[in-house]
Amino acid sequence: MSCACKTDKPIEGIKCTVSNCEYHSGETKCEASSIEVCTADPVQQCSVECKTFRPKTGA
Protein backbone atom coordinates (compact mmCIF):
# COMPACT_ATOMS: atom_id res chain seq x y z
CA MET A 1 0.00 0.00 0.00
CA SER A 2 1.21 3.49 -0.74
CA CYS A 3 1.47 5.96 2.10
CA ALA A 4 -1.79 7.61 3.10
CA CYS A 5 -2.04 11.37 3.41
CA LYS A 6 -4.17 13.35 5.84
CA THR A 7 -7.06 15.11 4.15
CA ASP A 8 -9.63 17.61 5.36
CA LYS A 9 -12.49 15.43 4.15
CA PRO A 10 -13.28 12.24 6.12
CA ILE A 11 -13.76 8.94 4.29
CA GLU A 12 -17.50 8.49 3.86
CA GLY A 13 -18.87 5.42 5.67
CA ILE A 14 -15.75 4.78 7.81
CA LYS A 15 -16.17 5.09 11.58
CA CYS A 16 -13.01 5.26 13.70
CA THR A 17 -12.75 5.55 17.47
CA VAL A 18 -8.93 5.37 17.71
CA SER A 19 -8.31 8.89 19.01
CA ASN A 20 -4.50 8.54 19.18
CA CYS A 21 -4.24 8.06 15.39
CA GLU A 22 -2.85 10.87 13.21
CA TYR A 23 -5.85 10.48 10.85
CA HIS A 24 -8.55 10.63 13.55
CA SER A 25 -10.77 13.70 13.02
CA GLY A 26 -11.53 14.33 16.68
CA GLU A 27 -14.96 12.82 16.21
CA THR A 28 -15.46 9.28 14.88
CA LYS A 29 -14.19 9.93 11.37
CA CYS A 30 -11.01 9.01 9.49
CA GLU A 31 -9.23 11.73 7.48
CA ALA A 32 -6.71 9.44 5.74
CA SER A 33 -6.72 9.55 1.95
CA SER A 34 -7.19 5.76 2.00
CA ILE A 35 -7.03 2.91 4.50
CA GLU A 36 -5.77 -0.67 4.52
CA VAL A 37 -7.40 -3.19 6.83
CA CYS A 38 -5.94 -6.67 7.34
CA THR A 39 -6.46 -9.76 9.45
CA ALA A 40 -4.54 -9.36 12.70
CA ASP A 41 -4.73 -13.06 13.54
CA PRO A 42 -4.90 -15.63 10.73
CA VAL A 43 -6.57 -18.17 13.06
CA GLN A 44 -9.26 -15.80 14.33
CA GLN A 45 -10.24 -14.00 11.11
CA CYS A 46 -12.78 -11.75 12.83
CA SER A 47 -9.87 -9.89 14.44
CA VAL A 48 -8.66 -7.08 12.14
CA GLU A 49 -6.31 -4.13 12.32
CA CYS A 50 -5.97 -0.88 10.44
CA LYS A 51 -2.54 -0.89 8.80
CA THR A 52 -2.94 2.82 8.02
CA PHE A 53 -2.71 3.73 11.74
CA ARG A 54 -0.01 6.28 12.58
CA PRO A 55 0.50 7.55 16.14
CA LYS A 56 -0.64 11.14 16.61
CA THR A 57 2.32 13.53 16.88
CA GLY A 58 2.54 16.72 18.87
CA ALA A 59 -0.31 15.82 21.18
* Alpha carbon distances (Å) from 43 to 19, 38, 40, 46, 49: 28, 13, 9, 9, 14
Per-residue pLDDT tens over the stretch 44-58: 767 788 999 999 987
Strands (E), 1-59: 37-39, 48-50
Contact 11, 29 (CB under 8 A): yes
Among 12, 28, 16, 27, residue whose Cα is nearest residue 52: 16
Intervals of the chain under pLDDT 50: 1
Separation CA 42–CA 32 (nearest Å): 26
